[in-house]
Amino acid sequence: MAELSFETLAFKEETDRIKVTLLNQFYFHLNKEDLAQIAQFKINPHQITFSNISQTKAEKKFRSILDKGLKELKSLITHNSAVYVHQNSGIPLLGNVSFGLVYRNTSLIEIKPMTGCNLNCIYCSVGEGINSKKTDFVVEKDYLIQEFQKLLPFAGESVEAHIGTHGEPFLYGDIIPLIADLNNFKQVHTVSLDTNGTLLSKKIIDQLKNFKKVRLNISLNTLNPKTASTIAGVPYNLDKTIEVIKYAKNKVQILLTPLMIPTYNDSEIEELVKFAKENKLEIGIQNFLTYKTGRNPTKPWPWEKFYSLLKSLEQKYSIKLVYAPEDFKIAYTEKLPLPFQMGDIVSATIISPDRFPHSRLAVAKGRTISIPDCQDAINKRVQVKITRDKHNIFSGKVI
């Protein structure tokens, strides 16, 4: 008998197929017929057993069926296609702004284990949420850790590991093990996460309190339930988020990070400042800005007007509201070399769809390159002219 166990996969029997869930938020199906061709099989939530076959043979045959199934990976939230980025996927973790790792030559390294969100905020700067039409990405936790470690010598000094996803990080099935691994690095002084707070629970807070370096940046945008749902773009359980923040406040470091959205919640910001003061929480109010690929429901306030509001509230409530990079110990660090630069023509291989419809991701010299308006076949060799290279985030066009 062969027993194959998987921590990140969960199996569920359906009529003529098996539904496989990857890291809680992604799924694909396996045909029972294909599995039966390996040998008689039985499934448990995280295990599949085959009778009368050696472990090695079963593993090899099942791996090939699994690889085929993963090509049909989809997001459970949107049912859009998804790409699993793992150590054998051939997809580097540097090069793309929405998944993997982003190193902007500072002591804050961005870690992006997945894309996708359970809300649909009217202001979302990356256009994420339940109505997204984009391809999603999900990254194997050990691959992220392995590649993160390679960046530490460039940073040189103590770093902040910042889990800042294009989406909600607590959707990621391995989020607690990821935080635990990052927390263990001596060179990491803080593990920060940008979260909308809706998936936090007392159980999660009790797990997080064991990791002394964690800071949650919670985007609590209002204390008004009606405004909360309007801003979130979906029904929003404000009481639950507030309850969990109050439960967490003496256990985990919290920074409230409301976004001040003119005409939506600018008149409610003062209430949030009072809430922070009463609950002895730090608060860093963000100014709404417009983005090319974001949702832009209104016009931004000029910076002077925004800072004048912050300064008046700072004085009124004796609370810090204006922050500088030094407050977060962010320093400039050594530059990560660019394997190619803007204007270069690079031989690359198309490896997967990219985020937007009709776009592709290519790979060359250990980096991914985003290619908009491209529908070339996967594995095709192409010549790409690099059109963006800032911070080792690459775009290009096929020539």
Binding footprint of ligand SF4 on the chain (CB under 6 A): 117, 119-121, 124, 128-129, 167-168, 196
At 178, the amino acid letter reads L
Least distance between ligand SF4 and beta carbon 236 (Å) = 10
∠ CA 122-127-130, nearest 5°, is 80
User: Residue 114's beta-bridge partner residues?
Assistant: 138
β-strands 253-256, 282-283 pairing: parallel
Least distance between ligand SF4 and beta carbon 148 (Å) = 22
Least distance between ligand SF4 and beta carbon 328 (Å) = 20
Least distance between ligand SF4 and beta carbon 186 (Å) = 31
Nearer to ligand SF4, 119 or 245 (CB): 119
Least distance between ligand SF4 and beta carbon 168 (Å) = 5
- 55-92 b/e (C-beta count within 10 Å ≥ 16 → b): eeebbebbeeebeebbeebbbebbebbbbbbbeebebb
Nearer to ligand SF4, 128 or 354 (CB): 128
Helices (H), the chain: 32-38, 55-70, 141-155, 175-184, 202-208, 225-232, 238-248, 269-278, 303-317
User: Residue 44's beta-bridge partner residues?
Assistant: 47
Nearer to ligand SF4, 18 or 121 (CB): 121
Nearer to ligand SF4, 167 or 297 (CB): 167
Residue 101 near residue 110, CB atoms below 8 Å: yes
Nearer to ligand SF4, 107 or 196 (CB): 196
Residue 249 near residue 280, CB atoms below 8 Å: yes
Residue 97 near residue 388, CB atoms below 8 Å: no
Nearer to ligand SF4, 191 or 261 (CB): 261
Least distance between ligand SF4 and beta carbon 166 (Å) = 6
Nearer to ligand SF4, 20 or 97 (CB): 97
Residue with tokens 């993963």: 70
Least distance between ligand SF4 and beta carbon 1 (Å) = 45
List the one residue out of 225, 220, 217, 148 whose CA is nearest residue 185. Answer: 148
Least distance between ligand SF4 and beta carbon 163 (Å) = 13
Phi, psi at 258, each rounded to 5°: -65, 150
Angle between helices 141-155 and 175-184 (to 10 degrees): 30
Helices (H), 71-173: 141-155
Least distance between ligand SF4 and beta carbon 8 (Å) = 23
Nearer to ligand SF4, 133 or 335 (CB): 133
Nearer to ligand SF4, 49 or 120 (CB): 120
